[in-house]
Amino acid sequence: HAEAARLYRLAADQGDASAQHNLGGCYCQGTGVDVDHTEAVRWFRLAADQGLADAQCDLGVCYHDGTGVGQDHIEAVRLYR
C-alpha cells in the first residue's frame, strides 16, 4: 500500500485530479500512509477544484462530518451540488 500511495503522490504533485483524489483517500483511511484527515481534505480540495465529482462528494462528506475541517453543512451541500 505504501508504494501505491507513493505513486499517487507523484501523479498528484503533477496535478492529476484522480491521483489527488486517491491520495486523499489514502490519508483518510491510512492506506500506505498515516491517517491524516487534514491532509486528506487538502488533496480532496485540489481534485474537487478541478471538477472531479467524486472528490467534490468526498470533500462534502468531510464538511458534513467535520472531519479534517470545521463542520459546515452549507459548504457540504454546495459541494454535493
The SS3 call for residue 21 is: helix
pLDDT at 57: 97
DSSP code of residue 72: -
Q: How sure is the predictor about 39, in pLDDT bands with cuts at 50, 70 and 90?
A: very high
pLDDT at 78: 96
pTM: 0.95
pLDDT at 36: 98
Mean pLDDT over residues 59-74, rounded?
98
Q: How sure is the predictor about 43, in pLDDT bands with cuts at 50, 70 and 90?
A: very high
